[in-house]
Structures are given as structure tokens and as C-alpha cells.
Amino acid sequence: MSFALDVFSIVANGAGVFFFVAGIVGLLRFPDALTRLHALTKADNLGLGLVVLGLLTRAGSLLGALKLIAIWALVQLAGATAAQLIGRAVRRKGPAV
Amino acid sequence: MSVRLALDIGLALLVFAVAARTIFARGAFEAVVDYVAYGLLLSIVWIRLFAVDVALTEDAIGGGVTGVLLIGAAARLRSAETVAAEETPSGSLRVFAACLCLLVTAVLAGVVLLLPDPGPTLAPQAAEHLAETGLGNPVTAVLIAYRAVDTMLEKVVLVLAVVGVWSLAPDRFWGGAPGEARAARPEPTLAFLAQVLPPLGILVGIHVFWAGANEPGGAFQGGAILAAMWLILMMARLTEAPPVGALWLRLALVAGPAVFLAFGVAGFVMASGFFSYPPGFAKPLILFIEAFMLLTIAVTLPMLVAGPPRREPRP
């Protein structure tokens, strides 16, 4: 059982890291601010979500697991808000040169 | 080379790279963004050094509140930036400044590298007397019990900083509120965050303060989180900064240092001297004092960000 949990943890964390790397590649390669934002928010949501999922099996206690999920939810909220604000600023003032 | 060592070296290189970016950034705003990233990286460094209390403070103050303060400053200085760029000091002066900075860095590095091994430490004494304070977190014990005067004076400095900011106000605005008049419509996206986040943030802030007695955390970190909640509400324009003449605001600003000082003086009567606690009552007293410091920090930091009064006081 613990072996299966370890494999699950490694796979989920690996997938999370993949999404973060993909997000960073997007941030560096995409042509303008809005598409770069798109890449970053995907990395935050899915990448961090998968990393948290992978760490849940190692949380040790129910409270620890709930805290991890709360961190993910808070980062979602903050990330989505920041992305909206930046997107709005870009639309209003045009992209930064 | 172990994985951890590789990660640590990578982290150190990253800190250097971001520090260099901060220095060589072209505009003030870019430099501030880099500086905030630098603060966040530094907090990871503190965690790797097992100094979680310092990491929390670095995150909340170094990355968070200082970042907001500096972004505000950069925004206000934007109009003057082109003028300042024309007044760039001459090449030789800049080389001289760089040499001085390098010298300071070299001396600091030398001091750290030349420390005897094991380094001089008071940690054993601090741990030995921890039980007498009733606390489980040695950092809190150092801050509120062993070095209580330092911590009290730190809070006085915070209040002085607010006095300094307020004293920039023109005479006719004295007693008025900082910031522009409240906009008719709040910023919708930010308003959503400002409505969802504070209930949770206030809970987390008080938890961090309460947990600080036995685990990493404390009044400063908790107060910074509470301050952030108020700041979000003000930024979303759901609420305004209070007029600087408000009595409750003045009382909240001085509550922390005043209560701390009162108990410090009471130590002459109740215990063995200035800033000493009666045996057996140390922990409840420390938490009582810290609660008022939490209030002061939660009010001071947003007032620093809000800036000097910019509106005439209501009659």
C-alpha cells in the first residue's frame, strides 16, 4: 500500500513539475502579455494542484492535508485575481513596451 | 553531491541573480518587482537554515508590506523619474560607489567566514530558561522576555515612522484622511477578493499570533497578515483609510508599546525589576502584551502604506 502511495506521490508531483515547466516555457516564449498570463495561470492551477495532490499522501494528518488544500485554494484565488487585474491593465493601457 | 546541496547552491545562485537584477534594473518599478521576488527567495533561504520565524517575517514584511510600500513610492515617483535619469552621476562616482559596496560585502563575508567554529552562541542559555517563561518557542521568549526592551523600542520605531509619514501633510489637511476620496464604484475583481479573503485572513493572522507562543509565528507575522487584509479592503475601495485625527486610531497605534511599557514598569513591583515577569504568570502576561502589539502592528503597517493625510478633515 505504501509503495502504491509513493508511486502515486511521485507521479502526481512529476506531473505538477511538468506543468510548471510548461508554464515557464510559455512565459518565456509566448508573444504578448495576455497569452503569457494564460500560460502562467494554467501552471499555477494545475501544477500546484498536482503537487498538492502528490503531497497529500505524505501530509501525515487530516489537518495537515486540509492545510495543503487550503493553500492550493488560496493560491488559486490570488492567482486568478492577479491575472484578472493584469489583464484588465493590459487592455486599458495597452501592452508594456 | 547530494540533491539537497545542489538545490541549496541553485537557490543561492538564484538569490545572487535576482539581487543583481534588482541593482541593474532600469526603472524603479522593475527594481521593486525584482526586490519582492528577492524577498520571497530569501524567505526560502531562511527556511533552509531552519529559521522559520525569520522566514515568516521576511515573507510578510520584506516581501509583502515593503513591496507594497515601494510600489506606492515608485508610482508616486514615476513623473520625476525621467528628470532623475538625466542627473545620473558621473562614471567615476558610480565606480567609486560600486567599490564601496564591494568593500562592505567583502568585510561582511570575511566576518562570517572568520567566525570560530562552533560560533559564539547564547542558544543553550536561552533554551535552559525557556521553561520559566512558559513558552515553547524560544524566538518568542527572546523577543518578549529576554530582550523585551528591544522589542518594545522596535514598536516605538514603527509608531515614529507613522508620525514621520503623517508629518508630510500640509497644515490644512492635518487631521484628515489619507488617500483619495472613495470612488463611487469599487474595482470589481479586487472587491471580490477583498470580500472573500479577509474572514480567512483574520483567522490565519490570529492563529499565527496564538501559535507563536509555542511554534514559529508571533505578533509581528500575525499582525502583518491582519494588516494585509485591511490593505486589500482599502485597495479594493470597499473602505477608506480613517482620518488621522481619529481617537481610536491614535489609541490603537500606541496600544502595543504603551501596554508593553506599563507591564515593564510594573515589573518593579510585581517581580524582580524592569521588564521582568512574576514567576508562574509569565506566559499569560506575554500573550496579553503580544495581543496589543498585534493590534498596533495591524494598524501601523496599513497607515504607513496609506501615506500622509490628503483631504481636509470633516468638521
- Judged against a pLDDT cut of 90, whether residue A45 lies above it is answered with no
pLDDT value of position B63? 81
**Over pLDDT 70: what percentage of chain A?**
95
Please give the C-alpha separations between residue B146 and each of B122, B151, B291, in angstroms, as whole numbers.
11, 10, 18
Taking residues A55-69, report their average pLDDT: 88
pLDDT value of position B225? 92
In tens, the pLDDT along B2-11 reads 888 999 999 9
CA–CA min distance B193, chain A (Å): 7
Taking residues B2-29, report their average pLDDT: 91
- Judged against a pLDDT cut of 50, whether residue A6 lies above it is answered with yes
- Judged against a pLDDT cut of 70, whether residue B159 lies above it is answered with yes
pLDDT value of position A95? 59
Asked if B51 reaches chain A (Cβ–Cβ under 8 Å), the answer is no
| CB-neighbour burial class of residue B131 (10 A; exposed 0-12, middle 13-18, buried 19+) | exposed
**Most confident among A88-92, B109-113, B265-269 (mean pLDDT):** B109-113
Residue whose C-alpha cell reads 483609510 in the numeric block? B241
8 Å CB contact between B57 and B220: yes
Average pLDDT of chain B, as a whole number: 86
CA–CA min distance B188, chain A (Å): 10
How would residue B12 be classed by pLDDT, with cut points 50, 70 and 90? very high
The structural domain count of chain A equals 1
pLDDT value of position B43? 94
Q: Does B200 sit within 8 Å of A81, measured CB to CB?
A: no
pLDDT value of position B188? 83
Cα separation, B35 vs A94, in Å, equals 25
Asked if B26 reaches chain A (Cβ–Cβ under 8 Å), the answer is no
- Judged against a pLDDT cut of 70, whether residue B169 lies above it is answered with yes
pLDDT value of position B283? 82
Chosen from B190, B204, B208 to mutate, greatest number of chain A CBs within 10 A: B190
CA–CA min distance A1, chain B (Å): 27
- Judged against a pLDDT cut of 50, whether residue B205 lies above it is answered with yes
- Judged against a pLDDT cut of 70, whether residue B268 lies above it is answered with yes
Of residues B98 and B135, more confidence is placed in: B98
Q: What length does chain A have?
A: 97
How would residue B133 be classed by pLDDT, with cut points 50, 70 and 90? confident
How would residue B245 be classed by pLDDT, with cut points 50, 70 and 90? confident
In this prediction the pTM is: 0.86
pLDDT value of position B5? 92
Taking residues A5-9, report their average pLDDT: 89
Taking residues A43-62, report their average pLDDT: 88
8 Å CB contact between B55 and B105: no
pLDDT value of position A96? 55
Instruction: Specify the range with the lowest mean pLDDT, choosing from A15-19, B184-188, B207-211.
Output: B184-188
pLDDT value of position B315? 65
Residue whose C-alpha cell reads 493572522 in the numeric block? B205
In tens, the pLDDT along B85-126 reads 677 777 888 899 999 999 999 999 999 888 887 877 888 888
Taking residues A1-27, report their average pLDDT: 89
Answer yes or no: is the ipTM higher than 0.90. no
Residues 188-227 of B with CB under 8 A from A: 189-190, 192-193, 196-197, 200
Asked if A85 reaches chain B (Cβ–Cβ under 8 Å), the answer is yes
Provide the residue range defining the domain that includes A11: 2-93
- Judged against a pLDDT cut of 60, whether residue A97 lies above it is answered with no
Of residues B175 and B35, more confidence is placed in: B35
- Judged against a pLDDT cut of 70, whether residue A24 lies above it is answered with yes
